[in-house]
Amino acid sequence: MSMFNIFNVSGSAASAQSQRLNVVASNLANADTVAGPDGQAYKARQVVFQTQLMGEVGAAGVRVSTVQEDQTQGRRVHDPKHPGADAEGYVTYSNVNPVEEMVNMISASRSYQNNVEVMNTAKSLLLKTLQMGQ
Amino acid sequence: MLNRLTNSLDFHGQALALRSERQRLLASNIANADTPGYVARDMDFASALRQATGSASGGLPSTLSTSTAGHIAAATGARAEPNLLYASASQTNLDRNSVDMDRERAAFADNSVKYEATLRFINGNVRTMLDAIKGQ
């Protein structure tokens, strides 16, 4: 029965989107993190989605292929009194852009909702199919 | 005689199978709305149904020609995979993803209503047949 595969497809998409939401949450949480003793500040992360075939023709799920780190230089602020300041008095913050992350968050949650709606529709159709002929 | 009774049931059965396949396709498109490089797919439902019920000019899929002794005849009710088409992007996209969420959601709602309609046709057919058998 091909409709049962919808749950696999939409479920994989929902799990990928929730992983994206997870990454957004950790990016936002670390938006103001400064460089540690190793001099490396937190780097913003991004998930990369990839299509995953689900056995049948036309059933294409989603999986997270990699989580990439943004390699751009973080924000540097001159603050000699800061405990995390380097020899020149600069503090390196993480390179998270909160505006981008908020947009990412809204997009992820909308996509998640879409997939949940698809699963609800498929479920009600399947329940009606089970009552066929009664 | 029984054949005539079940003919229209067969038709709706094929339609239901195709509707569920299309539903799965649309679910895949919605699932891959954020996947870079994904190309949305859909089927031409009318021609797929024509092909499945054997009214297309190509002839019944269940009457595959068996020209050599080793050929296996297709089982009754067997049909080929419907030809899937690729949707073109309605707006240009940096990541070459051609899923248009508005179109997909509309098609999904349309398809689920028509799936339910087919189900009701089948249920009505069955009820009619039972009434005829009971003769009440």
- Digit-coded pLDDT (tens) for B55-103: 654 444 445 667 888 887 766 556 666 778 888 878 888 888 889 999 9
Cα(B12)–Cα(B30) distance, integer angstroms: 26
ipTM for the predicted complex:
0.83
User: Looking at chain A, which residue has its C-alpha nearest residue B17?
Assistant: A2
CB B43 within 8 A of CB A77: no
A84 DSSP assignment: T
Does residue B129 register a pLDDT over 90?
A: no
Q: How many CA atoms lie within 13 A of B74 on its CB side?
A: 11
Least confident of A26-30, A64-68, B8-12, B29-33: B8-12
Nearest to A114 by CA among A2, A16, A4, A46: A16
Task: Name every chain A residue with its beta carbon within 8 A of the beta carbon of B99.
Answer: none
State how far Cα A76 lies from the chain centre. Answer: 26
Amino acid at B110: D
State how far Cα B36 lies from the chain centre. Answer: 28
Q: Does residue B114 sit at the A interface (CB-CB below 8 Å)?
A: no
pTM for this predicted structure = 0.82
Q: Does residue B42 sit at the A interface (CB-CB below 8 Å)?
A: no
Helix (H) / strand (E) containing B13:
helix B2-31
Contact A9 B123 (CB under 8 A): no
More confident residue, A132 or B110: B110
CB A121 within 8 A of CB A7: no
Give residue B54's region: left, alpha or beta (phi > 0; psi -120 to 50): left
Helices (H), A1-134: 5-29, 98-130
Cα(A49)–Cα(A62) distance, integer angstroms: 7
Q: pLDDT value at position B60?
A: 45
- Digit-coded pLDDT (tens) for B20-41: 999 999 999 999 999 999 999 9
Cα(A24)–Cα(A17) distance, integer angstroms: 10
Chain A closest-CA separation from residue B69 CA (Å): 31
| CA angle (B89, B93, B99) in 5-degree steps | 45
> What's the whole-number average pLDDT of chain A?
90
Give me the phi and psi of B55, to 5 degrees please.
-90, 0
Q: pLDDT value at position A1?
A: 58
Mean of pLDDT values over A58-82 = 90
Nearest to A3 by CA among A134, A133, A128: A128
Cα(A16)–Cα(B21) distance, integer angstroms: 23
Least confident of A109-118, A123-132, B46-55, B116-125: B46-55
Q: Which residues make Cβ contacts (< 8 Å) with residue B57, sequence separation at least 6?
A: none
Mean of pLDDT values over B117-133 = 90
Helix (H) / strand (E) containing A90:
strand A90-92
Q: pLDDT value at position B63?
A: 54
State how far Cα B76 lies from the chain centre. Answer: 17
Contact A132 B122 (CB under 8 A): yes
Dihedral angle computed from the Cα positions of residues A55, A58, A64 and A65, in that order, rounded to the nearest 10 degrees = 80
Q: What are B131's strand-pairing partners?
A: none
Q: What are A63's strand-pairing partners?
A: A50
Cα(B20)–Cα(B108) distance, integer angstroms: 11
User: Looking at chain B, which residue has its C-alpha nearest residue A65?
Assistant: B35
